[in-house]
Structures are given as C-alpha cells and as structure tokens.
Structure 1
Amino acid sequence: MFFQKIQSALISLFIIPFVLPLFFPYALDLSYGPSVAVYLLYAIPIVFIYGTFTSILSEYISQKTPFRSKRVTYFVFHLIAGWLFVVPYGLLFDPSIFETGIFNLASLLGVSSAFIFYAVDQLLGHHFKTL
C-alpha cells in the first residue's frame, strides 16, 4: 500500500503542475511556463508529505467505515483533505485568503490537486488490485 501511494505521488507530480495552470490560468498572474515551475516547486513537498499521509489515512478510514461504498468515502475524504490543507495556512500565515470565503482560489487548487491524486491512486489501485 505504501509503495502504491509513493507511486501515486510521483505520477501526480507529473500531472498537477501542468493541469492546474490550464484550469486556473490567472491564479498566479504568470504565463503557463512560469506557472508550471511555481506549481511544481510547491507541489513536491505538499504531495509527498501531506498527500501521501492523507491518502494512507483516507484509505484506512474508508476500510473501517460502515458505509457500503468505500470508494465514495475514500473520494470524499480526499477532497476534504485537499480543502483542509488551506485552512491552517490561512489561519497561521495569511488570513486574507479567506476574504473571499472558505471556497476561495487556494481551496479550489487544493481540491483539484486532491482529485488528481485520487484519480491516479485509483488507476494504480486497479492495476495493483488493492481497492
């Protein structure tokens, strides 16, 4: 399971920096190339540390849940974890990101990245037959 999560993180790192500037082109006020570089710079530690940890935790929680569809629980937990990543940053370092509400651009970037990580992990899960 841990090996699959590391693989998911590596593959996601090749997808996230190239996809996010396409969906959110004005997020950084940069052109596509520099946006990819900035997203890659920030995505490496976030995806490897936070993404891998929350993916392992969400898989554990989804296996323990009494709900019928464990994949839906796994998916929802991924999206919530992607959204929650922004909350500590906003509370500790930059409270101004919440001026537009709790569903702001930063939280949309987190949810989008979590969705990509989830999709890659599911594709690898089908390959390894883990879920």
Structure 2
Amino acid sequence: MLFQKIQSALISLFIIPVVLPFLFPEALGLSYGPSVAIYLLYAIPIVFIYGTFTSLLSEYISQKTPFRSKRMTSLVFHLIAGWLFVLPYGLMFDPSIFETGVLNFASLLGICSALVFYTVDQLLGHHFNTL
C-alpha cells in the first residue's frame, strides 16, 4: 500500500502544478510557466510528506469505519485534510491568511490538490486491484 501511495504522490506531482494555474489563473499574479514552477516547488514536499501520510491515515480510518461507503469516507477525509493543511501555517506564521475566511485561496489549493491525489490513488487502486 505504501508503494501505491508513493506512486500516487509522483503522478500527482505531474498533475497538480499543471492544473492549479488553470483553476486559479490570477492567484499568483504570474503567467502560466512561472506559476507551474512555483506550484511545483511547494507541491513536492507537501505532497510527499503530508499527502502520503494523510492518504495512508485515510485508508486506515476508512477501513475501520462502520460506514458502508469506504471510498466516500476516504474522499471526505482527504478533502478535510487538504483543507486543514493551511491551519497550522496560518496559526504559526501568517494569521492574515484567514482575513478572507476559512475557505480562502490557500485552503482551496489544498482541497483541489487533495482531490487530485485521491483520484490518482483510486485509479491506481483499480489498476492494481487493491481496492
């Protein structure tokens, strides 16, 4: 399972920096190419460390839950973890990030990235028949 999560992280690293500038074109105030580079720079450690860990935790929680839909539980956990990623950063380094509310630009980036990671992981799970 860890190998699948690492593969999901690698594939997501090719998708996330390409997709986010399309979804949020004016967010960084840069053109497409530099935006991809910035997103890639930040995505590498976040996806590998935080994304892989939360995805493993999500699988564990969804297998232990009494709900019928394990995939829906995993999806919801992925989205919540993507949204919550901004919370420690905002509390420790930049509280002004919450001036626009809890559903701000950074949390939307986290949610979109978590959705990409979850989708890639589910597709790989179907490919390897681990679901």
- The correspondence of residues 85-100 of structure 1 with structure 2, limited to 5 A, is 85-100=85-100
Q: What do the CA deviations read for 1:84-124 (whole angstroms, capped 9, x no partner)? A: 00000000000011000000010000000000000000000
Structure 2: runs of 5 or more not aligned: none
SS in structure 1 at match of 2:39:
helix
Matching residue's letter, 1:66: P
1:101 aligns with 2:101: yes
**For this pair of structures, how many residues does the alignment match?**
131
- Give aligned-pair identity as a percent: 83
TM-score by length of 1: 0.99
Distance 1:86 1:51 in 2: 13
For 2:74, the equivalent position in structure 1 comes to 74
Partner of 1:115: 115
CA RMSD of aligned residues (A): 0.4
Unaligned runs of 5+ in 1: none
User: What is the CA-CA distance between 1:83 and the residue it aligns to?
Assistant: 0.3
Q: Secondary structure at the match of 1:126?
A: helix
Cα deviation, residue 127, structure 1: 0.6
Does the residue aligned with 1:47 lie in a helix, a strand or coil?
Answer: helix
1:46-61 mapped onto 2 (5 Å cutoff): 46-61=46-61
Counterpart CA distance in 2 for 1:106 and 1:23 is 13
TM-score of the superposition, structure 2-length normalised? 0.99
Equivalent AA in structure 2 for residue 129 of structure 1: N
